[in-house]
Structure 1
């Protein structure tokens, strides 16, 4: 679209900015609670809640308190929640078998939330890192993160989550071929309506540190994840990966991290026209919170502005730890 504008003074663009009412009438993008998915961290125990030190305001909660928090978020208008487990270190193994245990902490949380708030969409995480003694998203053999054996494990994990009642599967592992394998297994086992929101372009970013603290994976991680997560320098590669995942059966795609990769959000939406999401990751959240707590920025304004930027870039929705707070502000 080529903009048409008369010469000054016939055209005075400031006319459209002169009052809140006028600005609202011409606003191109709007942020609502419907755009939000809330990532939460679940731990063992009953009536247990503990803060994540590197993520001010974020808690690890036992299943009962996670259900309570989900109800509160739903009442605020947040339509979806995403579950991440804080796994007991004693359950982390080389074979990662706890990942597909029907009664692991994630699957118990799925069932409890769907029982208490059946209308709320429950999203899960599919990757081995919370269960892997090596801290990696896949199996480690002779120092290599192997692909095909990992995909077999991820399929078992996917089916266990679908059986527990998950609405949306979120593969964050970045293994090759996992979307096709998951989709085939879901179809074969009668889970045709379970959606896949693929982390199709997940970059090997330095922004994930607080998240790894939150799920207890930091101390376990050996090496880095650069052989399977994307090089931050690459853009065309992301388009190839998104197209591959869509061809294999993904319903929606994710860009991760968020704000440093808004160009990828825009490019993905314009190229494929499919539901496109971004994850405002732990490092982004922590930076905003730290600056706000120091009085360097207005935390509330930055929170809302940052999320609106995702919508302007073409995102249909955002995973953000701010979700309940944002919904509360948007509701007045």
Structure 2
């Protein structure tokens, strides 16, 4: 009887060492960016109820948190502020003594090895919770750009290594790039939230950042989850306007978008593994329904496989520990 002819793909899966030898995608500690929420109150470390293991911290706990990251081998952090005072223009966002500006200065002075990324938006600072100035019930795009640019400049003055605007106003990269250049910060890169969907996965973040809109929603400026070509248009505009990195947010439900953005544009691509994606796995793991380590490392690897060069993730500490073990 003639021997069957077929491919023997299993030859490359036979042992742990063989699988490691031919592995195509690698998740590294260097890929991880940890988000931190900084409070203006003193002597506070609050666990976010919907995000087990994630804390809001006051400045007197900040250095301890940053040293833990360094000891774990994590090299980058993105800073979100939770101010005590809010107003209609989000003025604490661009206050030179605002909470994010103070946090950046402290990190750069006390833990200088960390790369500090500043989230640049108004939603945590406005009393209405929107990412720009509200006029007649709508977000005034161009007026908002002026305030977002002021925010970016004060963050650069404080020592931020990277500015990460997340507001989704039209022209925000061009405005910030011009503002930084004119203020003498042409060396500071812009990590644009280029593709940011109006997603249901953001709920726990709004608990942590106290940024829930007080009326309406953000669908007039964040993207429709059904749209693919719009993502390419948004990313293309940001590339033309001078972005240095592109973020896709959320990540897990948008791996197809991530792959397409990476294939079309030759800039470093950042996946934002958002709060809802984190909370779901944490809840399932606490109930014993999933193997947390296995599922987290699998999904982070999937983001790398889809084209991400870097990953903003609340799992950064856990992932760093697990990567050290393996």
TM-score where L is the length of structure 2: 0.97
8 Å contact 1:87–1:215 — kept in the other structure? no
Q: Tell me the secondary structure at the aligned position of residue 190 of structure 1.
A: coil
State the alpha-carbon separation in 1 of the partners of residues 166 and 125 from structure 2: 14
Partner of 1:46: 42
Q: Cα deviation per residue 1:223-255 (whole Å; 9 max; x = unaligned)? A: 100000001111111111111101111001000
Out of 276, 279, 296, the residue aligned to residue 272 of structure 2 is 279
Q: Cα deviation per residue 1:40-93 (whole Å; 9 max; x = unaligned)? A: 1111233320110011111001112122111110221111000111222xx110
Alignment partner of 1:205 is 2:184: no
State the alpha-carbon separation in 2 of the partners of residues 137 and 250 from structure 1: 20
Q: Tell me the secondary structure at the aligned position of residue 190 of structure 2.
A: strand
8 Å contact 1:67–1:109 — kept in the other structure? no
Mark the CA change 1:78 to 1:9 in structure 2 (over 3 Å): closer, same or farther. Answer: farther
Within 5 Å, give how 1:84-233 maps onto structure 2: 84-88=80-84, 91-218=85-212, 220-233=213-226
State the alpha-carbon separation in 1 of the partners of residues 47 and 21 from structure 2: 41
Alignment partner of 1:249 is 2:216: no
Partner of 1:261: 254
8 Å contact 1:196–1:252 — kept in the other structure? yes
Alignment partner of 1:293 is 2:289: no
More off after superposition, 23-32 vs 270-279: 270-279
Q: CA RMSD in A?
A: 1.2
Out of 71, 77, 82, the residue aligned to residue 81 of structure 1 is 77
Q: Tell me the secondary structure at the aligned position of residue 270 of structure 1.
A: helix
Partner of 2:66: 70
8 Å contact 2:89–2:132 — kept in the other structure? no
State the alpha-carbon separation in 2 of the partners of residues 50 and 9 from structure 1: 62
8 Å contact 1:155–1:181 — kept in the other structure? yes
Alignment partner of 1:306 is 2:299: yes
Partner of 1:28: 24
State the alpha-carbon separation in 1 of the partners of residues 5 and 18 from structure 2: 19
Q: How many residues align?
A: 323
* Structure 2 unpaired stretches of 5+: none
**Per-residue deviation at 1:193?**
1.4
More off after superposition, 61-70 vs 8-17: 8-17
State the alpha-carbon separation in 2 of the partners of residues 74 and 221 from structure 1: 37
Mark the CA change 1:12 to 1:166 in structure 2 (over 3 Å): closer, same or farther. Answer: same
State the alpha-carbon separation in 2 of the partners of residues 57 and 299 from structure 1: 13
**Per-residue deviation at 1:165?**
0.3
Runs of 4+ in 1 over 3 A off after TM superposition: 7-10
More off after superposition, 40-49 vs 7-16: 7-16
